[in-house]
Amino acid sequence: LSSVLRSLTPDQCKAVCEAMKDRLPELIPSGLSGLSPNHYEVMQNWLFNQIQATRDLNSVLSSLTPGQCKFVCEAMKDRLPKLIPTSWELSSVLSSLTPDRCKAVREAMQDRLPELIPTVGDLNSVLSIFSPDQRKAVCEAMKDRLPELIRTVDDLISVLRRLTPDQCKFVCEAMKDRLPELILTVNGLSNLSNLSNLSNLSNLLLILIPDACKFVCEVIQDCLPELIRTVDDLNSVLSILSSDQCKALCEAMQDYLPKLMSMVGDFSKMLEAAPCKEKRRAIYEGMKDCLPRLIQTAKDYKRVLSDMPSAFKETEMNMIERLPKLIKTQEDLCQALLYGDPKAVCKKMNQHYKDDNPGKLLTFVDVVFENRHLDGSLVGTLLEDCFFIKDSDLDKEISAKVAQKKPSLLEEIYRRVKQPEKTTSFPLSQEQKGIFEQWLKALQLEYGYRADSVSSKKT
């Protein structure tokens, strides 16, 4: 076609185009190549005359390849505003095209998209036709207009439902200056109902990925006290979110949580409201940094550990340093051994008693023996640290209690003293060995206990 047209006058070119009208759509891109400016203008004018309405453009574009669509749209760029004056016509053209052809039209009209999309309804209509990849380009073209188009949380949600997770975050970032206002209003009016405010927040977070959830919560941080006034309010939001979304919300609220939660019971209430282990873990992960502040007594310590699934008990290592201040009675110590890690509890409390009040080690020994839930093989391990405090009188009292309660424990320690090369778990210094043998001899005299006989159980 190009070689024919180049040898004709403009009028002859027009006559050929009329004769080839039915086949021109497929020939136009190649037919326009290599023409002189005069010939090109004739062909372009003829093309414009053939496409007088949206349906004409639709008919032409639907028969072309994506590359040809792009060529035609660029050639008609100045005419497109008349053919596609609103989003309705744009949707009409795009609805019958393949994604690649839609992309060609969108690229040709990229600069006009803000003008064609005056309402959030128009935006949703256009987004629904484009492929996910193309929706990102539409959002980028509309970025500056989004705060003007989206006037309520419902508007925002209607847009986000059509986007990928990353595109949702992009839109939220574009809307960040208006997010607090949107969440605190309903139908454009300042909302007086906290229930509606919470519903706005919940519905918005529900459709976002965790990163976007956290971003939204950080943006609206200043109005969180107005939105979430009680633990029950927070529970109502968390109840409909996924585990990852719960964690993101709690992490974003770190600065506000201390004001919201004043006691361990509030934390327990949140865990009790969580329907599954995964969500309880997410809540814990998001709030673990504020737990030490809530745990003021041994009862609080017990309650936190008993409420949390066993997988969460790594938090005990964060609280173990505070045990000496929490454990004030024998009952407190019993509860700590019951719900916490007995080895960690014993190690910390033994060291505390040795440093500050060695006499309490006698009470500690009684508590360990009286805790029936403790495995028998564990008792010896728990009591080992009670010995060798460089106080021979107290050592003898402790060993006497042990001899009465569990002679085999003394046998085990005696074996370790006599054959240290066979064990590395309980190494003793020469000074410690001397102390041990002194009070062991005293026991032999007082109780008739034969420490050199491994099989002896006499006391």
Per-residue pLDDT of 270-308, as tens digits, reads 777 776 777 777 777 777 777 777 777 777 777 777 766
Q: Tell me, what's the pLDDT at 205?
A: 86
| Domain ranges for the chain | 150-289, 387-459
For residues 414 and 446, is the Cβ–Cβ distance under 8 A? no
For residues 168 and 158, is the Cβ–Cβ distance under 8 A? no
SS3 36: coil
From the list 110, 62, 63, 120, the residue with the least C-alpha distance to 84 is 110
Compute the distance between CA of residue 58 and CA of residue 62 in angstroms, rounded to an integer. Answer: 6
Site of tokens 């505003």: 81
Q: Tell me, what's the pLDDT at 438?
A: 63
Sign of CA pseudo-dihedral 311, 313, 317, 318: positive
Vertex 238: Cα angle to 236 and 239 (nearest 5)? 65
Q: Which two tokens stand for residue 29?
A: 């891109």
Determine which helix (DSSP H) or strand (DSSP E) holds 272, and give its type and residue range: helix 264-273
In DSSP notation, 273-310 reads H--SHHHHHHHHHHHGGGHHHH--SHHHHHHHHHHS-G
Q: Tell me, what's the pLDDT at 431?
A: 60
The gap between the terminal CA atoms of the chain, to the nearest Å, is: 116
Q: How many CB atoms lie within 10 A of CB 187?
A: 9
Site of tokens 């052809």: 101
Provide CB contacts within 8 A for 37, sequence distance 6+.
none
For residues 366 and 401, is the Cβ–Cβ distance under 8 A? yes
Q: Which two tokens stand for residue 11?
A: 């009028």
- DSSP-assigned letter for residue 423: -
Burial environment of residue 27 by CB neighbours within 10 A (0 to 12, 13 to 18, 19 or more): middle
Q: Tell me, what's the pLDDT at 440?
A: 63
Q: Tell me, what's the pLDDT at 320?
A: 73
- DSSP-assigned letter for residue 330: H
- Those residues of the chain that have pLDDT short of 70 are 24-35, 39-40, 42-44, 46-48, 185-196, 275, 307-318, 354, 358-359, 361-362, 369, 371-396, 398-399, 403, 405-459
Provide CB contacts within 8 A for 225, sequence distance 6+.
256, 259
Identity of the amino acid at 431: E
- DSSP-assigned letter for residue 222: G
From the list 37, 39, 99, the residue with the least C-alpha distance to 69 is 99
In DSSP notation, 55-89 reads HHHHHHHHTS-HHHHHHHHHHTTTTHHHH--SHHH
Q: Which two tokens stand for residue 271?
A: 């865990």
- Interval 80-101: pLDDT, tens: 888 888 888 888 888 878 888 8
pTM over 0.85, yes/no: no
Vertex 151: Cα angle to 147 and 154 (nearest 5)? 120
The distance of Cα 209 from the centroid of its chain, to the nearest Å, equals 8
Q: Tell me, what's the pLDDT at 171?
A: 92
